[in-house]
Amino acid sequence: MQQAKLVGLQKALQQRAALQQLRQPVTVEQYGGRLLSIAGKSYLNFSGNDYLGLATASEVVAAFAEGAATYGAGSSGSPLVTGQHSVHVELSELLADWLGLERVLLFSSGFAANQAMLLTLADKDDHLLLDKLSHASLIDAALHSPATFKRFVHNDLASLNKALSSSISREHQPMVVTEGVFSMDGDSPDLPAMLSLCQQHDALLLLDDAHGLGVSGPEGKGTAVAQGLNNDQLFCYMANFGKALGVAGAFVGGSKTVMDYLEQFGRHYVYSTALSPALCAAVIKSISLSRSQPWRREKLHSNIAFFRAQAADLPLLASSSAIQGLVLGSSKRALHLSQQLKQEGIWLSAIRPPTVPRGSARLRITLSSHHSEQDIQHLLQSLRQYL
Ligand SMILES: Cc1ncc(COP(=O)(O)O)c(C=O)c1O
């Protein structure tokens, strides 16, 4: 019996390999932000999400060590048993104050936060409307939810309007879910227009701002604030700590009622070990640096502008964020170019289906405040040489 199962698994692996979609895990031997060391060789890193260079900031690293010495390495329980320590409360209150939210709840990852947010808040008679390019954590939650699930065309208000018009129910407000910065394309929705459309249809707007928090808006308050909104105009604001803040973990924020409800009924919250308190101490320091050192954001945005100006001849997706997509089409081509760049000392992973739609394999270039203009020029020269 077990044999039959194994044969099935092997077949699926072989099929994935035949499609050039097999992922090869790499082990980073040394991480320096700008540089990565893999298999004894150093590479310029254009594949990470450490947009502000905070993962290696000495103050953040020291806060992590001090946090472990003070609170212990692990939380030793789920948050409603004995897992919540004073540093969790401090981090939650800091986030709420920084982002203008009534209350936030911490989660062990962005994936868990998104699952909890949609699976807990959407009931059988609800309608969940998701952007077509939503992250897997949102799509999976919507697929597993008993709510009616529809997708609208990426960043397309007319398509959303159509989906909203067919989701009218007296008692159940439709829930519209989008991202501040899309993880693979790097573009953003027009959030004020989307919110106003939601208001016209009495719908709720939920935002995953994993790639916007820390990067956009004054003091890094995220994409909604950068576009002139307040985060509390959203039904939920979710983001994680593993991207610009350089650590790991996540949160969902919103009104006290919504968060009280998630705290009681969110299974990913209730039945999961609370974040390590040492990690919370590191995130607190990271938030403080991200707010008080605007040069990190300024350097990142000047690198983005420099990259866009220098790369005008390349077939890039339209994006003014740290994520710049160079779509190549086939997985084979994306893998080949990624290999060629390695010879030039550049680490730039190929992103292939099913992470992105079929036929849109790409190099997902990510910029950070660590990069210099020479680094960017080296990348562009190498890309031109091989394209
Ligand atoms: C848009 C988006 N949402 C959620 C997640 C999941 O976050 P985490 O890596 O903290 O689980 C990611 C990260 O891959 C993401 O890009």
pLDDT digits (tens, 9 = 90+) for 240-265: 999 999 999 999 999 999 999 999 99
Ligand 1 proximity of 212 Cβ (cutoff 6 Å): no
Q: Any idea what the CATH number is for the domain that residue 310 is in? A: 3.90.1150.10
Residue 100, pLDDT > 90, answer yes
pTM of the full predicted structure?
0.96
**Pair 315, 266 in one domain:** no
In a domain, residue 16? The reply is no
**Pair 256, 114 in one domain:** yes
Stretch (H or E) spanning 178: strand 175-179
Q: Residues 82-102, buried b or exposed e (16+ Cβ, 10 A)?
A: ebbbebbeebbebbbebbebe
Least reliable range by pLDDT among 22-26, 88-92, 93-97, 134-138: 22-26
**Pair 355, 262 in one domain:** no
**Number of domains forming the structure of the chain:** 2
Residue nearest to atom 4 of ligand 1 (CA): 110
Q: Which domain holds residue 168?
A: 75-275
Q: How many A from CA of 111 to the centre of ligand 1? A: 6
pLDDT single digits (tens) 107-157? 999 999 999 999 999 999 999 999 999 999 999 999 999 999 999 999 999
In a domain, residue 123? The reply is yes
Q: Which of 150, 243, 268, 371 is catalytic?
A: 243
Q: What is the 3-state secondary structure (H, E, C) of 313-342?
A: CCCECCCCCCEEEEEEECHHHHHHHHHHHH
In a domain, residue 321? The reply is yes
Is 179 considered catalytic here? yes
- Asked if the peptide bond before residue 189 counts as cis, ω within 30 degrees of 0, the response is no
**Pair 219, 157 in one domain:** yes
Ligand 1 proximity of 111 Cβ (cutoff 6 Å): yes
**Pair 108, 256 in one domain:** yes
Q: How many A from CA of 77 to the centre of ligand 1? A: 24
In a domain, residue 240? The reply is yes
Q: How many A from CA of 176 to the centre of ligand 1? A: 18
Where among 243, 275, 307 does a domain terminate?
275
Ligand 1 proximity of 250 Cβ (cutoff 6 Å): yes
Report whether 262 contacts 269 (CB < 8 A).
yes
**Pair 135, 262 in one domain:** yes
Where among 242, 275, 308 does a domain terminate?
275
Task: Place 345 in a pLDDT band, splitting at 50, 70 and 90.
Answer: very high
Ligand 1: which of 132, 138, 240 to mutate, judged by most atoms within 8 Å of the beta carbon?
A: 240
Q: How many A from CA of 109 to the centre of ligand 1? A: 8
Is 211 considered catalytic here? yes
Q: Any idea what the CATH number is for the domain that residue 133 is in? A: 3.40.640.10
In a domain, residue 17? The reply is no
**Pair 82, 40 in one domain:** no
Task: Place 169 in a pLDDT band, splitting at 50, 70 and 90.
Answer: confident
In this structure, the number of other CB atoms found within 10 A of the CB of residue 293 comes to 18
**Pair 266, 334 in one domain:** no
Is 240 considered catalytic here? no
In a domain, residue 4? The reply is no
Is 232 considered catalytic here? no
Q: Which of 45, 92, 183, 276 is catalytic?
A: 183
Distance CA 207, CA 231 (A): 9
